Amino acid sequence: MGDLALRASADPCVSDLPGVIILGLENAIGLTVVRELGERGVPVHGIARSPSAIAIASRHCRTWSIRPSGPAAGWLPGLIAETGARAILAIGETDLIELSALPPIIGECHLLVPRAETLAKVIDKLSTLEVAAGLGLSVPQTWQPRAGEDFAARAASLRYPLVAKWANPPRVMPLLEQGELEWLKTEYVHGPEELVALLARYAPIGHWPLIQQYCRGVGLGQMLYMDNGVATLRFQHRRLHEWPPEGGVSTLCRAEPLGDHQAQMALSEDLLRALGWQGQAMVEYRHDRESGEYWLMEVNGRFWGSLPLAWHCGAHFAWEAYRRAVLDQKDAPPSPRQDICARYIVPETKRLLRILFAPQRIADPFFRRRPFPDLLGFVGGFLNPRARYYVFSWSDPRPFLRDMMQIVRKAARRGRR
């Protein structure tokens, strides 16, 4: 089938379970979904953008193929027919958007992605915040700059620091690329002049990021699987470290007991129900333990970065989606463990190096730099019996080895320049 030629990755084995196709094998999230389903005996076919994708190396990835060029509607039905897959899961937001416009079932294969209208509400942060405010959730004060406004006057009226983030990243990314502007997930703004300069930077494309109140606290993620308006699986975690240090990808996170934050978990379920959400999602907050306030940051409508922690704890969101749609299993899943932490070692190492050697690059004005405790915690973490890892697994070591080899090769290439 040309680009769709199937390549064996794992040793063939017999399974009575229908197969699944997973789009996106390049990161720890895709690897976790492959492991979660593969270890239960589900035949996994992965679609990768490169043969170097780390999840291809997993023993749980039965077969794989390189993603063909062109829209998925042109090649996906043929791949479904060839593999006999009964379900499709996608990791990246771009793939979710594309698949959400296709029929929810192709033949006997369930596309386990949200529908386009619902997904659009969640991707648009401003829309999500409006729905949340109507339900009584605490949302940060937010300004969406528009063409024709007096930016200088508005900037002078705001309280600082502020955070700039894009309301709809997939929509703006092509515009930034055309304008040769860097994509920045978040930027911290400390005063009016700095804000005016930031807004002027984006004037050539006529689109501006949301300007949002800075909310103190630590990251709290509440994950739910929604089925017809009811949460069938719940899990929550606290972000302890992020890369970059002032906010980004979770690099060290810890499970939170489900007995904590119960009222907020109920609000998270109300929010997803109001959005008409079906499937897995993470509702992300900043929790200020001193005031007890929970500030809604966003709803993550795709598999999230800290998914490996949920997997290690037994909160299996990909399996929940698969078993309910394909196997028609409606019983309650087992309760997850609540005593595990997970580390994303490569970005966690970058975080430590920045704290130790380049603290001036940390943009968060309230970030607490603690060089010695951070160094001690980093080293001591390897001795923690309750610590797990995003990529490394004793039972499936090849993805970690591939990841390390790629890091070495990149470093060697930089050294030769």
pLDDT over threshold 60, residue 126: yes
| Strand extents, DSSP E, 138-273 | 142-143, 162-165, 186-189, 210-213, 218-227, 230-243, 249-255
Task: Give residue 2's pLDDT.
Answer: 41
**What are 307's two structure tokens?**
């998914």
Residue with tokens 């951070």, as numbered in its chain = 374
Strand partners of residue 110 = 87, 105
Q: Which of 195, 132, 184 is nearest to 162 (CA)?
A: 195
Residues 309, 237: contact at Cβ < 8 Å?
yes
**3 state SS of 344:** coil
For 60-118, the DSSP string reads: T--EEEEPPSS-HHHHHHHHHHHHT-SEEEE-SHHHHHHHHTS-SEETTEEE-S--HHH
Buried b (16+ CB within 10 A) or exposed e, 91-110: bbbebbbbbbebeeebeebb
As a whole number of angstroms, the distance between CA 208 and CA 366 comes to: 25
Give the helix/strand (H/E) hosting 46.
Answer: strand 44-48
Task: Give residue 34's pLDDT.
Answer: 98
**141-213, what's its fold?**
Dna Ligase; domain 1 (3.30.1490)
Q: Kindly report which listed range (10-19, 139-148, 368-377) carries the lowest average pLDDT score.
A: 10-19
Q: What share of the chain in percent tops pLDDT 70?
A: 96
Task: Give residue 93's pLDDT.
Answer: 93
Task: Give residue 410's pLDDT.
Answer: 85
Q: Which of 79, 78, 83, 120 is nearest to 98 (CA)?
A: 120
Strands 249-255 and 341-343: antiparallel
**What are 66's two structure tokens?**
């390189």
Residue 109 one-letter amino acid:
C
- Cis (ω within 30 of 0) for the bond into 18? no
The residue extents of the domains of the chain are 2-113, 118-134+216-417, 141-213
Torsion-angle region of residue 38: left (phi > 0), alpha (psi -120 to 50) or beta? alpha
pLDDT over threshold 70, residue 11: no
Q: What is the pLDDT of residues 79-98, one digit of tens each?
A: 999 999 999 999 999 999 99
Mean of the pLDDT values across residues 142-165? 95
Mean of the pLDDT values across residues 291-302? 95
As a whole number of angstroms, the distance between CA 3 and CA 113 comes to: 24
Residue 88: which residues within 8 A CB-CB, separation 6 or more?
Answer: 20, 21, 22, 23, 76, 80, 99, 109, 110, 111, 112, 113
Task: Give residue 5's pLDDT.
Answer: 57
Q: What is the pLDDT of residues 134-147, one digit of tens each?
A: 999 999 999 999 99
φ, ψ for residue 371, nearest 5 deg = -55, -50
pLDDT over threshold 50, residue 325: yes
Mean of the pLDDT values across residues 328-341? 95
- What CATH code is assigned to 2-113? 3.40.50.720
Mean of the pLDDT values across residues 3-19? 68
Task: Give residue 364's pLDDT.
Answer: 77
**What are 362's two structure tokens?**
């940390």
Rg of the chain taking only CA atoms, in angstroms: 22
Overall CATH class of domain 118-134+216-417? alpha beta
Task: Give residue 399's pLDDT.
Answer: 97
Assign 3 a pLDDT band (cuts: 50, 70, 90). Answer: low
Residue with tokens 């300007």, as numbered in its chain = 211
Strand partners of residue 241 = 252
Residues 398, 57: contact at Cβ < 8 Å?
yes
Residues 113, 302: contact at Cβ < 8 Å?
no
Residues 245, 351: contact at Cβ < 8 Å?
yes
Task: Give residue 14's pLDDT.
Answer: 57
Q: Which of 289, 290, 235 is nearest to 265 (CA)?
A: 235
Task: Give residue 1's pLDDT.
Answer: 41
Residues 346, 403: contact at Cβ < 8 Å?
yes
Q: What is the pLDDT of residues 377-415, one digit of tens each?
A: 999 999 999 999 999 999 999 999 999 999 888 878 877
Average pLDDT, the chain: 93
As a whole number of angstroms, the distance between CA 311 and CA 333 comes to: 13
As a whole number of angstroms, the distance between CA 306 and CA 390 comes to: 8
